[in-house]
Structure 1
Amino acid sequence: MKLQSLLLSLALLVPLAAPAQTLRWAAQGDVQTLDPHSQNEILTNMVNGQIYETLVRRDRQLRAVPGLATEWKQVSPLLWRLKLRQGVRFHDGTPLTAEDVVFSLQRANDANSLLRVYAAPVGKVKKIDATTLEFQLDRPNPLFLDHLVQLWIMSKPWAEKHKVVRPLNFKEREESYAALHANGTGPFVLAERQPGIKTVLRRNPAWWDQAAGNVQEAQLIPIANDATRNAALISGEVDLVLDPAPRDLARLRQTPGIKLAEGLENRLIYIGMDQARDTLLHGKAPGGKNPFKDQRVRRALYQAIDIEAIKTKLMNGQSAPTGGLTPSPLGSFNDPQLEARLPHDLAAAQKLMLEAGYAEGFEVLLDCPNNRYVNDEEICIALAAMWKKLKVAVKVNAQPRALLFPKLEKQDTSLFLYGWGGAITDAETMLTPVLRGRGEQGVGYANFGGWKHEKADALAAASSIEADPAKREGLIRAALREYREALPILPLHRQTAPWAMRAKVTAQHRADNWLELNWVTVSP
């Protein structure tokens, strides 16, 4: 009866007789904000990325190709010159200008922006003329084009008119006009935004580029319950589910009219720990200490994890356990030593706890999302059971990401589950925002545990600005070895990202788990 009630509620939200060429797609979570520079999270970026565009975009193979910039040239190691596409208009009809680009990249570099980790390395941009922009870097950036792919272009006049010159401060729960309204240059226009209910996008008839699919309207419908999402797909109330539960994949494969698109996602799921405070913020330990400051405790927790049990029992084989510290194995050059996990060894873990003075364990709160990663809450519950064998009493605090992520940004945590990844396979995408100690210009902004490892950080920082590929590879390998030894985070696995869809839907699956609506075709 509960499932039927949920389906009835969904039916009231989604008309059964949808217009032709409408895509109704579902996910367990919702967009955090429509402000394109505030947050850096895949579903939020994905929806914003249908409305807003970047100077450089990605093709179906994740290569960097022209977007709002038609061409570029590296004039010198510290100077790039780009040509701006002409004839582009924002959804409100105003033309795209070089001033809009300068404004947008300055906005993305604001303290409220989680994209500043990409904006800072592209340097200072200035208008040379109506069609030419120059980027003056203060240091070499081997990922210049990859970083431009992450930086959305807004209308300066629109932002000024609606008093959204700065990105909203999400962690302080600030609201602004840009949170619920949008004005980009992209293939889709925002038609309706009801947080937690649906977000409707409609095809932009004045888009400068050619449509590759036939979707005229796309409706994102958040459905938190796995069974309800699948039931909505099977019944035809939605056309595509972005995140079906692994346990349901076998059934979906056997369901007439349903097909799957799947592949390993460039995303590392890991456990982070507060290593900055001297006492536990959310827990209790002998002597009032913070156990996570001791590398032996971190290693003990690691070696108590039965990752194969998580893979087989929770993930139904839909994960790739790893000891690597990058979203893609390409980031560690497919090095078996950098990818290898520490062995699951409970006896060794118990010995480490004894040596560290925690033979009787401690108590701690584990912060965990329940609508972001595949089986996120279930993984946290499984880890709590495994760590109980070390006498570590873990209370799982599972929350929607809209509540949890601001909490983590404030470093209001002792222990947490998180994930990191996307289209960039280079180690830099993990080293600077996640593994390095917190600093200026967004460095370490996702380092919610406040860890610092001077030698590793120095190697990682040097790799970020090293132009010679061979030297840079050596620095990255050395940094990853140091981080592996220090264990600031405990890697778990890279998750498989399956999509389930009606047979009438054709969608391009990418390794960054990005659904490009412009490439989707819906047959009658």
Structure 2
Amino acid sequence: MKFTPTLLSAALVAALGAAGAQAATLRIANQGDALSLDPHSLNESLQISVNENVYESLTTRGKTYKIEPQLATSWKQTAPTVWHFDLRKGVQFHDGTPFTADDVIFSYERAKSDGSDMKSYVGIIKEIKKINDHSIDIITNSPFPILPELFTHFNIMSKKWCETNQATRPVDRRKGIENAASFRANGTGPYRVRERQPNVRTTFVRNGNYWGKIDGNVDEVIFNVIGNDATRVAALVSGEIDVMEPVPVQDVERIKADPKLKVLQGPELRVIFLGMDQKRDELLFSNVKGKNPFKDKRVRQAFYQAIDIDGIKRAVMRGASTPIALMFPPEVNGFAPDLAKRLPFDPEASKKLLADAGYPQGFEVTMNCPNDRYVNDGAICQAVAANLARVGVKIKLEVETKGTYFPKILRRDTSFYMLGWTASTVDAHNVLYPIMSTPGDGGRGQFNLGAYSNARVDELTNLIASETDQKKRNEMIREAVKIHQDDIGHIPLHQQALNWGAKKNIELVQWPDNGMVWKYITVK
């Protein structure tokens, strides 16, 4: 599976010819919902994908996934730690309030505040200075050459609206706290929210005052939540919906064979992996008392080598995955091909490692997994549990909807868990900083939920952020990745594939981060 950031394949990007097309309603179905309309509350790709049709960022990605201006019209680095951004004039939020530099500064303060899940996007910022209403200087803590790429998910909210609606701080998914931004939205984007029924459906309508061009002809989007795979497929086949995501891997060929339907496929930038609590002196959820087995590399390696990843690809994913040894795929800058070989599946080696670590009979531990977030996530975890049982590890599997799963693991209320991550900047730093670094300020290690820690990885991550020489930078990325790999800091499983189903009269762009941009969609 191969993705080229500068040009998506013809199978992924259909030519859009919406000129003169009549306005249309688009009915989408997904296995889960965007858990909140608050763009700073959860760094989860479905929520980001839905909300970014309503809210906008300073920069964005175009049809070919290349970086483009959005609420900023231009930017330049004026000093090693200073970026100057010119902001777009004449933009209004959905309530008619003009967009200005004050909204950018407010959104920065909001995104870095307690409860925000987007700290890693703004943690490198020291200060934003207002030059005038449509011009700002962003000062970073150290040189950061990929800043514009990082800002594609730094969504801007209205300062006035948030203050009026007591939503100046983001919804904290860890504490279950909600506010007006959970259920209502006021962005600058091409679509606005008309009706919100959480976990059922949300209806969006075109923003008649949108500042930009809308290439497609979709006037209304009805986003439906259909958790059951068979029901979701049946809705597409019967014509009740127009687009569905994801297509269950077992139904891909069936939908391809239907003359009225099509499947859009491609590699996703997401890697699915397992994490382990490596910080606590005693695991929260295990029968081992007085110590933490996961602090021992031999135990982590035993878990890794007990997992039959090729069997999961064959039986669970039906070929729609690529087993992987690193925490990001080949399409991401910094990928080291010489490190791309996984440790071998070897149950006997796993048993010996466990015995050497003092667990000849294995032990018990709870594993937390979602069942409506990633492709076949619950089934993958069941397969992992079965694999581990063969080497004496008894897994108590807790599988639940992402609505309760994410708050739990984001509180680090877990001993062993599944997570997926997409490098939204298409650069390794966007994995090193939030996933592989020691948890700290500014979003560092915010999603390193097992608190893996290596001082050299932290040091290299800082150096990588500032290095402009690509050769030196890639050498440092390789070193950091090798250390993490040797430590078994996490257990990478696979790169999952994208499978969207649609009627043949629907033309749409499939981004490799699984983003679906409604303004690009045409219903013929």
Q: Which amino acid aligns with 2:399?
A: A
Are 2:287 and 1:261 equivalent residues in the alignment? no
Indicate which of 38, 41, 58 corresponds to 1:38. 41
Partner of 1:348: 349
For 1:265 and 1:146, the matched residues in 2 are separated by 18
1:144 maps to: 147
Runs (4+) off by over 6 Å: none
- Who is 1:291 aligned against? 293
1:123-150, CA deviations, whole angstroms, 9 ceiling, x for partnerless residues? 4112101221111122011220012111
User: Distance between the aligned counterparts of 2:144 and 2:134, measured in 1?
Assistant: 23
Q: Does 1:88 align with 2:91?
A: yes
**CA deviation profile, 1:13-40 (whole Å, cap 9, x unmatched):** xxxxxx9611110111101111111111
Q: Which position in structure 2 is the counterpart of 1:434?
A: 435
Q: RMSD of aligned C-alpha atoms?
A: 1.3
Counterpart for residue 444 of structure 1: 445
Q: 1:135 aligns with which of 138, 160, 173?
A: 138
1:303 and 2:305 aligned = yes
C-alpha change, 1:430 and 1:334, in structure 2 (3 Å) is closer
Q: Partner residue of 2:486?
A: 485
Contact persistence 2:424–2:430 (CA under 8 A): no
> Which residues of 2 match residues 15-164 of structure 1 at below 5 A?
21-164=24-167
Select which of 218, 231, 235 maps to 2:234.
231
Deviation at 1:444, TM superposition (A): 0.5
CA offsets, 1:256-315, max 9 Å, x none?
A: 211011101000100101111122211212x54321111001101111111111111111
Contact 2:273 2:494 (8 Å CA) reproduced: yes
Cα displacement (A) at 1:334: 4.2
Q: Distance in 2 between matches of 1:290 and 1:51?
A: 45
- Does the Cα contact within 8 Å between 2:217 and 2:519 map onto a contact in 1? yes
Given that 1:332 and 1:339 are in contact with CA atoms closer than 8 Å, whether structure 2 keeps it comes out as: no
Asked whether the 8 Å contact 1:122–1:147 carries over to 2, the reply is no
Letter in 1 for 2:282: T
Alignment match, 2:387: 386
Gaps of 5+ in 2: 1-21
- Do 1:434 and 1:446's aligned partners in 2 also have CA atoms closer than 8 Å? yes
Change (3 A) 1:282 1:189: same
Moved more, 333-342 or 507-516: 333-342
Match of 2:169 among 152, 166, 171: 166
| Aligned residue number for residue 368 of structure 1 | 369
Partner of 2:3: none
% identity of equivalent residues:
40
In structure 2, distance between residues paired with 1:330 and 1:72: 26
Look up the match of 1:12: none
Residue 219 (1) aligns with residue 222 (2): yes
Task: Please name the residue that 1:198 is paired with.
Answer: 201
1:319 matched residue in structure 2: 321
Task: Write the distance in 2 (CA, Å) between the matches of 1:107 and 1:335.
Answer: 36
- How far does residue 471 in structure 1 lie from its aligned partner after superposition? 2.1
User: Conserved in 2, the CA contact under 8 Å of 1:322 and 1:340?
Assistant: yes
Whether the aligned pair in 2 keeps the contact of 1:322 and 1:341 (CA below 8 Å) is yes
Aligned-partner residue type, residue 101 of structure 2 = A
Q: Write out aligned runs for 1:407-426 (5 A).
A: 407-426=408-427
CA deviation map 1:47-97 (0-9, x unaligned): 110011111111112211111111111111111111111111110111111
AA at the equivalent of 1:522: V
1:215 and 1:134 mapped to 2: Cα distance?
36
More displaced stretch, 260-269 vs 61-70? 61-70
8 Å Cα contact 2:57-2:152 kept in structure 1: yes
Contact 1:62 1:423 in 2 (8 A): no
Partners of 1:453 and 1:73 in 2: how far apart? 34
Structure 1, unaligned runs of 5 or more? 1-18
Instruction: Give the structure-2-normalised TM-score.
Output: 0.94
Compare 418-427 and 239-248 and name the one that shifted more: 418-427
Cα distance in structure 2, aligned partners of 1:461 and 1:45 = 26
Once residues 75 and 332 of structure 1 are traced to their aligned partners in structure 2, the CA distance between those partners, rounded to angstroms, is 25
Aligned counterparts of 1:415 and 1:290: Cα–Cα separation in 2? 12
2:269 and 2:331 in contact (8 A); partners too: no
The letter for the 1-side match of 2:350 is A
The aligned counterpart of 2:12 is none
Aligned length: 503
1:284–1:362: 8 Å Cα contact kept in structure 2?
A: yes
- Deviation string 1:371-399 (CA, Å, 9 cap, x unpaired) is 00000000000011100111100111001
